[in-house]
């Protein structure tokens, strides 16, 4: 079953919506501006080397009946792209999914990540029938840990040497949030 995709979600002065082909240059700009810090945290960064790669990502995450990956752009006031939130690999008929989010470097630490995550999670728990979200992060990622904890995710354990990131095998912390725990 595919995700129930929102048209536009409001998060304070920001809005979250599906990316379109027209957003490829803005996505490329946001990734390029944040590349050194992003690649320390996320494995896909080195694979994005052009605007065409951004277009391919956007095409892959368009609403479709059998979609397994869903992404929204986080847009500020005048339509500036400040980050991307995503849900992936729906299992159990789309009721269990992996959550991730990144915010471009110069817009961090202003509450944007928390507000965007709240809007996205709220939609999926309240309107889209999702019952469990989970996230994984390497232990040396205090930003993500702080964000997940603030959102109410619970620590569920640690997978040792689970993922290859920048040429190293790193552990993965597992964090999970159930619909009945969601109180925001
Ligand atoms: C994680 C991330 C999305 C947070 O975005 P942000 O807009 O800076 O987050 P916010 O300003 O809304 O902060 C929310 C909470 O995150 C935590 N946090 C954010 N930056 C932090 C930092 N540098 N160090 C420690 N905690 C941090 C804090 O708990 C913060 O709450 P507080 O402001 O009440 O202290 C951003 O740092 C990012 O894009 N990181 C790289 C991608 C990544 O690791 N994503 C994984 C998310 S599942």
CATH number at 107 reads 3.40.630.30
The residue segments making up the domain with residue 45 are: 8-131
Instruction: State the sign of the Cα–Cα–Cα–Cα dihedral 112, 113, 118, 124.
Output: positive
In order along its 184 residues, the chain shows pLDDT tens digits of: 567 888 899 999 999 999 999 999 999 999 999 999 999 999 999 999 999 999 999 999 988 877 888 899 999 988 999 999 999 877 777 899 999 999 999 999 999 999 999 999 999 999 988 999 999 999 999 999 999 999 999 999 999 999 999 899 999 999 999 999 998 7
Measured in Å, residue 150 CA sits from the centre of ligand 1 at 9
> Is the shortest distance between the CB of 109 and ligand 1 below 6 Å?
yes
Max Cα separation, the chain?
43
Whether residue 29 lies inside any domain: the answer is: yes
Whether residue 136 lies inside any domain: the answer is: no
Whether residue 116 lies inside any domain: the answer is: yes
Q: How many domains does the chain have?
A: 1
Query: Which ligand 1 atom sits closest to the C-alpha of 109?
Result: 11
pTM: 0.96
Cβ atoms within 10 Å of 163's Cβ, excluding its own: 14
> Is the shortest distance between the CB of 146 and ligand 1 below 6 Å?
yes
> Is the shortest distance between the CB of 144 and ligand 1 below 6 Å?
yes
Nearest CA to 124 among 49, 73, 84, 178? 178
Query: Which ligand 1 atom sits closest to the C-alpha of 147?
Result: 16
């Amino acid at each position: 079953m595919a995700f129930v995709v929102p048209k536009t979600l409001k998060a304070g002065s920001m809005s979250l919506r599906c990316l379109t082909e027209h957003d490829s240059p803005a996505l490329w700009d946001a990734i390029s501006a944040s590349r050194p810090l992003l690649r320390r945290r996320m494995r896909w960064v080195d694979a994005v080397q052009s605007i065409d790669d951004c277009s391919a990502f956007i095409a892959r995450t368009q609403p479709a009946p059998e979609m397994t990956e869903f992404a929204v752009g986080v847009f500020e006031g005048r339509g500036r792209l400040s980050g991307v939130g995503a849900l992936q690999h729906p299992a159990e008929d789309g009721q269990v999914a992996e959550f991730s989010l990144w915010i471009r470097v110069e817009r961090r630490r202003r509450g944007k990540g928390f507000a965007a995550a709240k809007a996205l999670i709220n939609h999926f728990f309240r309107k889209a029938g999702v019952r469990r979200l989970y996230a994984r992060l390497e232990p040396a990622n205090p930003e993500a840990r702080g964000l997940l904890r603030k959102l109410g995710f619970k620590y569920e354990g640690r997978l040792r040497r689970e993922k290859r990131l920048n040429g190293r095998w790193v552990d993965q912390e597992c964090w999970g949030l159930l619909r009945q725990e969601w109180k925001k």
